[in-house]
Amino acid sequence: MSLNLATASSINKTDVNKIKKVTLNKQPTGVNKGYNMHFAFFSLGSRGDIQPGIVIGKTLLSYGHQVTIATSSIYQKWIEDNGLLFHCLTNKDPKDLMQSNDGQKMLAAGKTRDFIALLRQAFPPCFQETEALIKRKDIDLCI
């Protein structure tokens, strides 16, 4: 069964059961291990913000690609335990930011541009680290 965005809204129970039977831990067959890309995922948030990158990263890893996740150091062990590379954006816990006055302003702003501006003020090293990772020659795609 193939699932794409066009059909995602019309999934029924039978489709869900078929999807559940798919084993994601199997090594893909017919994969060309000779061509590897290096993907970098950036996320500054809670575990729920990091987890999708780990899932996608593990899938890419199974295809022979390298994956780096750039985030807070509190997630380093979790990322590395899943076989992915880690790049530290900050040693701060993102929960502390969200509970701070700046974090509350970010939540209240509701606009992406305002949110990014406040993030830059609260975590300037994060943006420097992000720029450094983006400029690396061994990174093929940054998300």
- 83 to 1, 7, 66, 91, 117: CA distances (angstroms): 28, 32, 10, 21, 33
If pLDDT is split at 50, 70 and 90, which confidence band does 66 have?
Answer: very high
Residue 6 has pLDDT above 70, yes or no: no
If pLDDT is split at 50, 70 and 90, which confidence band does 50 have?
Answer: very high
Average pLDDT along the chain: 75
Residue 41 has pLDDT above 70, yes or no: yes
- Write down the pLDDT at residue 2: 37
Other Cβ atoms less than 10 A from the Cβ of 102: the count is: 15
Residue pLDDT, tens place only, 53-63: 999 999 999 99
Residue 49 has pLDDT above 60, yes or no: yes
Residue 27 has pLDDT above 80, yes or no: no
Provide CB contacts within 8 A for 107, sequence distance 6+. 98
- Write down the pLDDT at residue 19: 46
